[in-house]
Amino acid sequence: MQNSTARLIASFKALADPVRLRITALCARGECSVSELTQVTGESQPRVSQHLRQLCEAGLLERFRDGQYVYYRMPQRGVRGALHRNLMALFPDDERQFERDRKRLQAQRGELRHETPATLDDDALRRLHRALVELTVTAPLGDLIDIGSGRGGLLKLLASRARRVIGVDLDADARQLARADLMLAGIDNCSLRKGDMYDLPFGDAEFDTVVLDDVVATAERPVDALREACRLLRSGGRLIILAATDGTETGRLGARIADWCRSAGVRMAAPRLIPRRDPRWLLAVATRAESRPAAA
């Protein structure tokens, strides 16, 4: 019997339980912790852990640690990702239990949310978002990582235009809030991870788009941060550099970032100021030095 057939049989066996089916449907919506799944399903923590172990052994779920929590989600890449997308297509859309579970999870995460004041004026932010969306027209985002993702504002903006999205931030509270916002927004192709921008837990050439989200200008070692970002880029991929500015000395800031890029072996196109008058953001697109630079 072929391996693909054996995997399919194992998947069907693992799903032949109502609770495991509910857990799988939830984890298809986004990454979930054991405590969240326990509260939603009403099952005991040991019982939920047992179900999760069976689902992971069948390859239906994958687990990862983020700080003090362990999260589970459906695989997104490779053969397993394709298999599970096909399996999810078989899940009935009119199953009320799935909908009740989703709403319970959304309610749990909704309690985490709170409003925070914008650090920059809304018009400048809208213009920045428009410029980022324009970049998705010139070239697809593919697999994207946002380094310094915070509460996930850019993740929500770009997720529908990317195949897979990872947000990285050192702030555990920001990652939790981003998970809540992404779940409430119905975005299921995003994952949040703890990560140091100088030593990220991902393989070489794993992403088509790397966003340095307002972290380079204030970094203690900006060249090292750029080298690490470049390591993650696939051939032909794009590095998007964002830097907030108070509207003064933008020319000096752009020159500093360009110098850092040259030292890191990155070729940066001319940066774009947003808005042009009284700028609040600097946006630059770069590629590996051996690749042809993209236009910002």
Domain spans, the chain: 3-110, 122-288
Residue 40 has pLDDT above 90, yes or no: yes
Q: What angle do CA 226, 229, 235 make, to 5 degrees?
A: 115
pTM (predicted TM-score): 0.83
pLDDT band at 295 (very low <50, low <70, confident <90, very high): very low
Q: pLDDT per residue over 232-251, tens digit each?
A: 999 999 999 999 987 667 88
Q: Which residues of 14-40 are buried (b: 16+ CB within 10 A; e: fewer)?
A: bbeeeebbbbbbbbbbbbbbbebbbbb
Q: Which residues of 149-165 are buried (b: 16+ CB within 10 A; e: fewer)?
A: bbbbbbbbbbbebbbbb
- pLDDT top residue among 49 and 84: 49
Residue 259 has pLDDT above 60, yes or no: yes
| Angle between helices 45-57 and 18-29 in degrees, nearest 10 | 80
pLDDT band at 113 (very low <50, low <70, confident <90, very high): low
We find that the CATH architecture of domain 3-110 is Orthogonal Bundle (1.10)
Instruction: Report CA dihedral (221, 202, 239, 280) to the nearest 10 degrees.
Output: -60
pLDDT over 90 for what percent of the chain?
A: 60
Task: Let me know: does 174 contact 150? Beta carbons within 8 Å.
Answer: yes
Residue 50 has pLDDT above 90, yes or no: yes
pLDDT confidence of residue 293: 44
Task: Let me know: does 145 contact 174? Beta carbons within 8 Å.
Answer: no
We find that the CATH architecture of domain 122-288 is 3-Layer(aba) Sandwich (3.40)
pLDDT confidence of residue 1: 58
Q: pLDDT per residue over 19-37, tens digit each?
A: 999 999 999 888 999 999 9
pLDDT confidence of residue 205: 96
Please provide the distance, in angstroms rounded to a whole number, between the alpha carbons at the two ends of the chain.
52
Tokens 């990702």 belong to residue: 81
Residue 162 has pLDDT above 60, yes or no: yes
pLDDT confidence of residue 237: 95
Residue-averaged pLDDT of the chain:
88
pLDDT confidence of residue 223: 97
- pLDDT top residue among 74 and 146: 146
pLDDT confidence of residue 233: 96
Q: pLDDT per residue over 198-234, tens digit each?
A: 999 999 999 999 999 999 999 999 999 999 999 999 9
User: Using CA atoms, how far apart are residues 180 and 177, in angstroms rounded to an integer?
Assistant: 5
Residue 114 has pLDDT above 80, yes or no: no
